[in-house]
Structure 1
């Protein structure tokens, strides 16, 4: 079957008048529990950057009326944690359904920050440059601490190479710039497969989301939690799903979402200017 790809749209000869939603042609066949309809309903839009390998980095905003609270949700910063991206897609749908919350939220979703790793066969933790994106953020003393940690603590594990410099990668630069542009009051980063809940930054952390309980795992040079939570003072909730290749049941995915909303309502005041 002849297929033509133009700007992220795949048009198959069998359906010449039907265009597949951006990104969905690749992601539906790669990610677990991601039906084509769910991906298409997500309404992904290409962001202003591409991955090291040239794949668009997609974004989806879901904004309630008069929202002042801004929440950024990131999936698949590690490409071999496929379930993290799928859960982000399911949460986009839930955000669309729950748009009229008592405390309105402007959500920004980046469901697949590392498409190079996700689309690799087999999937890879790193991007196409071989960099662990979650060690590439500009934490203080990055040049000294990231190199020391990689060399001494990981024994130069290639899966955890922090890169040649902070923000050396287009994916980490894109997320850095999105945080600067969007100014979120909360960052939620979805990972796998340790089955726990981690937290960095101010505020009282959630004690649980669904079946995941708080178990703070430490601070790493160049990590998003270290940079965003510790040094920028933006709370970072890190969700570690129990399995990297399988998503939780839909009911559990929704329960994590509801618990997150409850915690946001209790702990995060809608500070700042109206969402933009």
Structure 2
């Protein structure tokens, strides 16, 4: 049966490759039920629908530093060429993306035909510790590392700490970590990208009110017609999403050592779109989701052309790094 509602066979494969800091730190692993009860209690003042935070149908891709399960949900055809990944709530103080991620899962569930001939993977709460640790949440994870500065990009060793000190005056909320890719929540994201052979990524943040895009580098295309076809396909996806998210301002925010856009977009050449919702005001989360509803269908339906060989080879090398991490 090619059409899968939930790919349960993938659970064990992650634990074979993900050696996260949770075990080394000795934090006990919590259940999905404990996580959901904690999230319900945390979000009660927001008057969000508590049914969003049910404990059924989730897969576990690892555990946070504090032992919370890192959840993802899968539907569709495991052999499909059109393969989408949505990452939400990477920064725990960005409240509206928390609602967005869980609501998106229910939105897709209500449209089973949407999963036909494609694969959809959604991780609604990438940074549970950051969201749950304080009353207002914190940008960083339990180790006080900014997960969007921790991806292993080529210039990380040389520039990550330098930029953190010079541009951000060593502010802890932007700390890139002691070592690139050393946080379990980061290993989780990289594993999702590689394990599911993702062809496009949507990352949900707040509160800049923009749509950002990172993708294959045009200078690498040269005279390779196959690469040019792929590059053009990524460009069309970007333009379609710009039209579908007209309430957001399109802005090329740029990348940083260790950022997702740098790692997935530029290094792996996977078209990576970042939605920055207008605010972190929890009372507006439902409206923001409704405003974006048209773009959900467009993002999932768009099939990016096959990646050229040089990007496949780069992705394969990166997958080996994740396996050995």
* Counterparts in 2 of 1:116 and 1:250: CA distance versus 1, 3 Å: closer
Q: Deviations over 1:203-252 (max 9, x none)?
A: 12121425223112111110011100011001111010111232645354
SS in 2 for 1:57: strand
Higher helix share: 2
Q: Count residues with an aligned counterpart.
A: 256
SS in 2 for 1:175: helix
Q: Does the alignment pair 1:229 with 2:265?
A: yes
1:169 to 157, 179, 183: 183
Q: Is the 8 A contact 2:210 2:249 kept in 1?
A: yes
Q: Is the 8 A contact 1:87 1:247 kept in 2?
A: no
Residue in structure 2 matched with residue 258 of structure 1 by the alignment: 294
SS in 2 for 1:118: helix
Q: Does the alignment pair 1:268 with 2:295?
A: no
Unaligned runs of 5+ in 1: 10-20
* Counterparts in 2 of 1:52 and 1:109: CA distance versus 1, 3 Å: same
Q: Is the 8 A contact 2:148 2:260 kept in 1?
A: yes
TM-score, scaled to structure 1: 0.83
Q: Does the alignment pair 1:194 with 2:229?
A: no
* Counterparts in 2 of 1:128 and 1:65: CA distance versus 1, 3 Å: closer
**Once the 2 structures are TM-superposed, how far is the Cα of residue 33 of structure 1 from its aligned partner?**
5.3
Q: Deviations over 1:3-62 (max 9, x none)?
A: xx99526xxxxxxxxxxx463201122244542212217732322x11111111111112
**Once the 2 structures are TM-superposed, how far is the Cα of residue 65 of structure 1 from its aligned partner?**
8.7
Residue in structure 2 matched with residue 50 of structure 1 by the alignment: 63
- Deviating more after overlay: 127-136 vs 208-217: 208-217
CA RMSD of aligned residues (A): 2.6
TM-score, scaled to structure 2: 0.72
2:159 to 145, 148, 156: 145
* Counterparts in 2 of 1:105 and 1:235: CA distance versus 1, 3 Å: same
Residue in structure 1 matched with residue 276 of structure 2 by the alignment: 240
2:142 to 119, 128, 146: 128
> Distance in 1 between the 2:193 and 2:173 partners?
25
Residue in structure 2 matched with residue 16 of structure 1 by the alignment: none
